[in-house]
Amino acid sequence: MEKYDWQQTALGALLGISLAGSAQASDLTDLLRQTLDNPGISARELQSQAASEDATAANMRYFGQASVFAGQYHYDSPRIVGVFAPGVTPLPVPVSQNITQYGVNYHLPVDVFGSIAAERQQAQAGKATAQLLARQETLLRLHQTLGAYVRLQALAAQSQALQAEQKQLEVYADRVREEVKLGRTAKIDLSLVQSDLARLAAQQAIFTGNQRAALAVLKASANVTNPAISSMIDVPAMQTADDAQASLPVQLAKEQEKAADAADKKAHRSLWPAISVDSQYASFNGEGLVTQPPNVWSVGLNLNIPIDPVGMKSASAASQRARGAEQQAQAAQADTIAQIATLEANYQSAIGNASALAAEVEHRQEVVTIQREKWQLGAGTMDELLYQERNLLDVQYAYADARAQAATAWSGMQVLLGTPSAEYIHSLEITP
């Protein structure tokens, strides 16, 4: 039975679907939770908070603004202290070269033409856009981590199968060398085995390089240097995406379209007259001279008619950007429909391929066993045996890749659908 240990080890690694349990899921979900601390996600969340503050500020524009003022002035000649009011200001009129004034101003815009309303809509769309971008960044980082993790899993399974094959080839090589010495076998058989050993060594070097690349990706996304990579995970079922309108890219494009449309409205409405109510409450003092009345207040209605060629050009540019955003939203919807179809096809083909390859791995193992026995009995050639060994190894590689491709396609769909991060991680915690 010892001569079959290498096959059982490789097969157990590659057919490890049923071995996925809570321990394996924990390795991955721990990495995914660490990914949530990625600086890119934190940056997007801070930008979302800033956009929320911008939206609040835009809403407060309706309440106007107040300011406190104070000043000390020295004039070239005596001036009236305060405001001269006939019949109220005592005679002689108080004058001074040094006058102090202080008070409060209040400016209240009257949004007759909707400029503030457009600014508010733009800020609300900016807030929604920032929130969607934060969710997208989170999902992209989770996708990055999952992709690197399943790639490392596939590489680990492939490396294990390769190492088992190397050990068996070394056994072949030792036997062939003995038979060459005894004159029972031609040297060409030894050359064939040595050639395959060299090929496997080159393949192992490729696996090592790919592993370093995947580890670098995992370091960037989850800030982990030596992750625990368990047996193959269970790939969650792919949910159907019936409505592309609900997808994250389409929602994002529509919010950007709303923001551009609101910016267009704001730019055009700022060319209309601006109406505001302005009031002031002030006190004056001139070198100890107190005015009569001591305090002065005023309320007024202001009309400002802009004549702004630059603003007109800016409004025209804003219109162009709004039309561009509308076209971009339509393109995003078409692209998303195509991406959803592609991901669904990739997932189904990868799952189907993995299922077929799992059966083929078992079949190829039986073929190799039979071919080895024929070679040991002298009824088969070394070339035929090595050919079947290579076929088995290729199928083992393909099976591991198919599993990784299915998981990557599932994750890509979650990014498109905008799945909440907690739900994304929970889906990978579920084990049979």
Phi, psi angles (nearest 5°) of residue 95: -130, 155
| pLDDT(11) > 60 | no
Residue of 7 and 107 predicted with greater confidence: 107
Name the CATH superfamily housing domain 2-429.
Answer: Outer membrane efflux proteins (OEP) (1.20.1600.10)
Confidence at residue 3, expressed as pLDDT on a 0 to 100 scale:
40
Confidence at residue 302, expressed as pLDDT on a 0 to 100 scale:
93
Query: For residue 166, what pLDDT band results from cuts at 50, 70 and 90?
Result: confident
Confidence at residue 347, expressed as pLDDT on a 0 to 100 scale:
94
Q: What is the mean pLDDT of residues 314-340?
A: 94
Q: Which two tokens stand for residue 125?
A: 């769309």
Q: What is the mean pLDDT of residues 331-348?
A: 93
Confidence at residue 289, expressed as pLDDT on a 0 to 100 scale:
65
Q: Cα(364)–Cα(89) distance, rounded to whole angstroms?
A: 111
Own/partner long-range contacts of 292-295 (Cβ < 8 Å, ≥24 apart): 292/85, 292/88, 292/89, 292/90, 293/82, 293/85, 293/88, 294/82
Phi, psi angles (nearest 5°) of residue 399: -65, -45
Confidence at residue 334, expressed as pLDDT on a 0 to 100 scale:
93
Confidence at residue 388, expressed as pLDDT on a 0 to 100 scale:
82
| pLDDT(311) > 80 | yes
- Highest mean pLDDT among 121-130, 160-169, 385-394 belongs to 121-130
Q: Cα(56)–Cα(53) distance, rounded to whole angstroms?
A: 5
Q: What is the mean pLDDT of residues 152-166?
A: 84
Tokens 């003092």 appear where? 285
Q: What is the domain partition of the chain in residue ranges?
A: 2-429
Phi, psi angles (nearest 5°) of residue 246: -85, -5
| pLDDT(278) > 90 | yes
| pLDDT(424) > 70 | yes
Q: What pLDDT digit, counting tens, does each position of 200-234 carry?
A: 888 889 888 999 999 999 999 999 888 887 766 77
Lowest mean pLDDT among 1-15, 93-107, 242-256, 394-408: 1-15
Confidence at residue 174, expressed as pLDDT on a 0 to 100 scale:
78
Confidence at residue 9, expressed as pLDDT on a 0 to 100 scale:
43
Q: Cα(115)–Cα(272) distance, rounded to whole angstroms?
A: 9
How is 20-79 classified by DSSP, letter by letter? Answer: --HHHHHHHHHHHHHHTT-HHHHHHHHHHHHHHHHHHHHHHGGG-EEEEEEEEEEEEEEE
| pLDDT(17) > 50 | no
Query: Half-sphere exposure of 6 toward its Cβ, with a 13 Å CA cutoff?
Result: 18
Q: Which two tokens stand for residue 295?
A: 């305090």
- Sign of the dihedral through C-alpha 405, 410, 416, 418: negative
Confidence at residue 177, expressed as pLDDT on a 0 to 100 scale:
77
% of the chain exceeding 90 in pLDDT: 51
Confidence at residue 184, expressed as pLDDT on a 0 to 100 scale:
61
| pLDDT(84) > 80 | no
Confidence at residue 43, expressed as pLDDT on a 0 to 100 scale:
96
Confidence at residue 153, expressed as pLDDT on a 0 to 100 scale:
87
| pLDDT(431) > 60 | no
Confidence at residue 20, expressed as pLDDT on a 0 to 100 scale:
41
Confidence at residue 301, expressed as pLDDT on a 0 to 100 scale:
94
| pLDDT(10) > 90 | no
Lowest mean pLDDT among 21-30, 32-41, 298-307: 21-30
Q: What is the mean pLDDT of residues 92-109?
A: 89
Lowest mean pLDDT among 94-98, 100-104, 238-242, 361-365: 238-242
Q: What average pLDDT is seen over the chain?
A: 85
Q: What pLDDT digit, counting tens, does each position of 386-410 carry?
A: 778 788 888 888 888 898 999 999 9
* Strands laid side by side in the 95-110 sheet: 65-80, 95-110, 274-286, 289-304
Residue of 174 and 137 predicted with greater confidence: 137
Confidence at residue 186, expressed as pLDDT on a 0 to 100 scale:
61
Confidence at residue 14, expressed as pLDDT on a 0 to 100 scale:
43
Confidence at residue 430, expressed as pLDDT on a 0 to 100 scale:
59
Confidence at residue 95, expressed as pLDDT on a 0 to 100 scale:
84
